[in-house]
Structure formats: C-alpha cells, structure tokens
C-alpha cells in the first residue's frame, strides 16, 4: 500500500513539469505503460494471499484512475496553451489577397473531340455512339475483311474471348467502323423496303495491340462519319470534308485528296490539309511537304452497304475516320502521343 502511495505521488510530481505534447506522451508511457511501476503492481496481484488481494487491487485501481484523470486534465491544459500560442504568434492578415483555387478542366482529347462533334452537328450530322467490345463479325467481316485476309494485319487486335466461338471471337474494337453496320441496320429496320437516309458521326475509343511509341498508342479516340442516301457521290464527300476543314482550321484552309485503299470503302482516299504551322511553305511539322494528313475516307463499299441493309444498286454513301489526338499533335507541335494518357499535370494544364 505504501508503494502505491509512492507511485501516485511520483507520477503527479513528474506531471507538473510536463509542458509539451511530446513530453506528455513520454510521461504516459512511463506511468501507465506495460513496464511502469503501477502495471507491475497489477502483475503481482496473483502472488498475494486471498485476504490481501482485494484491498491491494482496489487501491491500485484508485491510483490508476487518479493518474488517468490527471493525464486528461494536463492534456487539455497543454492543448489550450498551444492554441493560445498559435493564435498569438501566427496571426492571420485578413487584408492579404486570397489564394487562387485550382479548378478542374476537360482533358485535351475531350476538348478536341467536342470541337469536332460541334462542327459536324452544325453540318447536320447526328452523334451516334456504339459499343467498344465487338464481335469479329461486326469489327471485320461485315466491313469486307474476310477471314484470314491479309488486310487484317493492318489492325492488330485485343481478343477477349475466343474459345468456343469459332470464327466470331469477341475483341476490343480496332476502329469505330463497326458502328456503321449497327447504325445502318437500326435505320433500315424502321423501313426495310425504303430505308431512310443516314448522316451520323460516330465518336469513341479504339484499341489496337501495338507497340507503344511516340507516334502510336494502344488506345486512341476516333471520329467516324457516315452519310448514306440516294445519289450520293464522291463530290459530296469532297465538299463535306473540305467544308469541315475550313470550319476546323480556318476559312482559308486548303485541302487535297490522295488515292489510298481501305477494305470497307471503294474508291478510298487520304485527305490532307495545308500545313497551318508554316502556311504550306514547309516545316518540321509537315516534314517539309507543306501538307498534313488528317483523315482517311472513301465511298462506302457495296458489300458494306448490303451488310447494313441498304441496296447498293439504289443507295450510295461515303465515310471517313479521323483521330482527334492526331489533329492536336499537328496543331500544337506535340511530338509524343503518350503525353495524352500519361496524366502528367504539367502537360494537361497547358490546355
């Protein structure tokens, strides 16, 4: 019992000199920790006789309660003193100007995607979204890519399910062109004998199993355009895309078309716009040619029209595909496409 009285007195005397939170934590460990004198008393209760044990245990609990109460009171005093000191020394000057709050912004790819779609909507195109996970049939076969055809090597694919599906495995779409078939079939289903004309823009993310370099990524945005109706010609294609280029790059923008090949269009072409960096004089961005390639296009192949539910003898159409990130790279002289998905704030804050 005398030992408990001495423990209580020593603890309270030591507490009187504690003035910081760090010192208070050290005091708590010394007085109430597992190796403290008070805890040693509790550990030794089993060695006492049955007559002594209740009295000593009760006294030990009283000492513990007293020490904990003193700890709580001292902790309140120390915190109050620290707050008063902070208010006195760290005074706030309310006349200082406020700090600017950093606000979020749209990703540059999203900004460009919306800019492209806004122009196309002004030109009468309706936005149509399609699925990112497709079947081989919709992604290739319906678009005139026969099974085992060499043209499939143009687009290495991410297959997500192939076992038990024969010649129609599931994959991540490699382009937005499968949306052409789905859109045409939806429109044709409304009136199979006389399908209505189509004028749509199909935006979305595409995926290709490619080596990531400064010029190629495994994922990228694409905007597909499709117009189907009676009497549509290549002149309509040229006029539409030339108008788009003027709306996007300025009324003085010059364009040109070069022959190319895509399985789902015939004839096919690449479209270039006069370099808006050097004005066509030749620079590092346009590789001294004065022209920048911005999209591929062509007249919809008769096989694709038929697969979409439109009679190619009666209907014709044109389609194109463009990459918003590529347009941004050309416009702002960005030399590495990986910046778009690297999430480096230093890059994203520039837009």
CA 65 vs CA 31, 57, 264, 351: distances in Å: 12, 12, 85, 63
Which helix (H) or strand (E) segment holds residue 166: the answer is none
Look at residue 218 in the predicted model and tell me its pLDDT.
86
Domain boundaries, the chain: 2-89, 108-348
**Maximum alpha-carbon separation in the chain:** 112
CATH number of 108-348: 3.30.930.10
Q: Which residues contact 42 (CB under 8 A, 6 or more apart)?
A: 57, 60
Query: Do residues 127 and 200 make contact, with C-beta atoms less than 8 angstroms apart?
Result: yes
Q: Is the dihedral of CA 120, 121, 125, 130 positive or negative?
A: positive
Separation between Cα atoms, residue 155 and residue 210, nearest integer Å: 9
Which helix (H) or strand (E) segment holds residue 54: the answer is helix 52-89
What burial class does residue 252 get, using C-beta atoms within 10 Å of its C-beta: 0-12 exposed, 13-18 middle, 19+ buried?
A: exposed
Q: Which residues contact 197 (CB under 8 A, 6 or more apart)?
A: 227, 228, 229, 230
Look at residue 274 in the predicted model and tell me its pLDDT.
86
Query: Do residues 188 and 312 make contact, with C-beta atoms less than 8 angstroms apart?
Result: no
Query: Do residues 12 and 70 make contact, with C-beta atoms less than 8 angstroms apart?
Result: yes
Task: Please give the order of strands across the beta sheet that includes 219-229.
Answer: 126-127, 198-207, 219-229, 316-322, 291-300, 265-274, 255-262
Q: Which DSSP letter does residue 251 get?
A: T
Look at residue 306 in the predicted model and tell me its pLDDT.
95
Separation between Cα atoms, residue 276 and residue 23, nearest integer Å: 69
Vertex 336 angle, CA 332 and 337, to 5°: 90
- Among 263, 275, 273, 251, which Cα is nearest to 322's? 273
Scan for tokens 């915190």, then name that residue. 79
Query: Do residues 64 and 38 make contact, with C-beta atoms less than 8 angstroms apart?
Result: yes
What burial class does residue 254 get, using C-beta atoms within 10 Å of its C-beta: 0-12 exposed, 13-18 middle, 19+ buried?
A: middle
Look at residue 285 in the predicted model and tell me its pLDDT.
67
> How many of the other CB atoms lie within 10 Å of CB of 321?
22
Separation between Cα atoms, residue 67 and residue 53, nearest integer Å: 21
> How many of the other CB atoms lie within 10 Å of CB of 9?
11
Q: Hey, what are 33's tokens? A: 């920790």
Look at residue 312 in the predicted model and tell me its pLDDT.
95
Look at residue 331 in the predicted model and tell me its pLDDT.
78
Separation between Cα atoms, residue 328 and residue 115, nearest integer Å: 11
Query: Do residues 41 and 64 make contact, with C-beta atoms less than 8 angstroms apart?
Result: no
pLDDT along the chain (351 residues), means of 10: 84 86 87 84 83 85 88 89 81 81 87 94 95 92 84 78 83 92 95 94 91 81 95 96 91 91 93 81 78 91 95 96 86 83 88 86
Q: Which DSSP letter does residue 90 get?
A: S
């Amino acid at each position: 019992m005398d030992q408990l009285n001495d423990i209580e007195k020593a603890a309270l005397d030591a507490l009187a000199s504690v003035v910081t939170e760090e010192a208070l934590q050290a005091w708590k460990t010394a007085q109430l920790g597992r190796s403290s004198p008070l805890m040693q008393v509790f550990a030794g209760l089993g060695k006492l006789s049955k007559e002594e044990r209740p009295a000593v245990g009760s006294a030990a609990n009283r000492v513990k309660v007293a020490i904990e109460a003193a700890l709580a009171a001292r902790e309140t005093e120390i915190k109050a003193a620290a707050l008063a000191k902070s208010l006195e020394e760290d005074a706030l000057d309310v006349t200082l100007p406020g700090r600017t709050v950093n606000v979020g912004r749209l990703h540059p790819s999203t900004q460009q995607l919306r800019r492209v779609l806004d122009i196309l909507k002004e030109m009468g195109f309706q936005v149509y979204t399609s699925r990112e996970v497709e079947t081989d049939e919709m992604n290739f076969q319906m678009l005139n890519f026969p099974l085992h055809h060499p043209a499939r090597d143009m687009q290495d694919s991410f297959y997500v399910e192939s076992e038990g599906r024969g010649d129609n495995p599931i994959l991540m779409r490699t382009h937005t062109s499968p949306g052409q078939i789905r859109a045409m079939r939806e429109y044709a289903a409304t009136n199979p004998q006389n399908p209505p004309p189509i004028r749509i823009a199909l935006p979305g993310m595409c995926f290709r199993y490619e080596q990531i370099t400064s010029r190629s990524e495994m994922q990228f945005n694409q905007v597909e355009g499709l117009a189907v109706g009676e009497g549509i010609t290549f002149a309509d294609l040229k006029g539409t895309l030339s108008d788009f280029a003027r709306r996007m790059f300025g009324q003085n923008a010059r364009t040109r078309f070069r022959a190319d090949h895509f399985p789902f269009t015939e004839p096919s072409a690449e479209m270039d716009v006069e370099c808006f960096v050097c004005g066509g004089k030749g620079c590092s961005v346009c590789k001294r040619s004065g022209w920048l390639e911005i999209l591929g296009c062509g007249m919809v192949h008769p096989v694709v029209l038929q697969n979409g539910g439109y009679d190619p003898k009666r209907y014709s159409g044109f389609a194109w595909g463009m990459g918003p990130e590529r347009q941004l790279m050309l416009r702002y002289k960005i030399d590495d496409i990986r910046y778009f998905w690297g999430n480096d704030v230093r890059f994203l804050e520039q837009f």
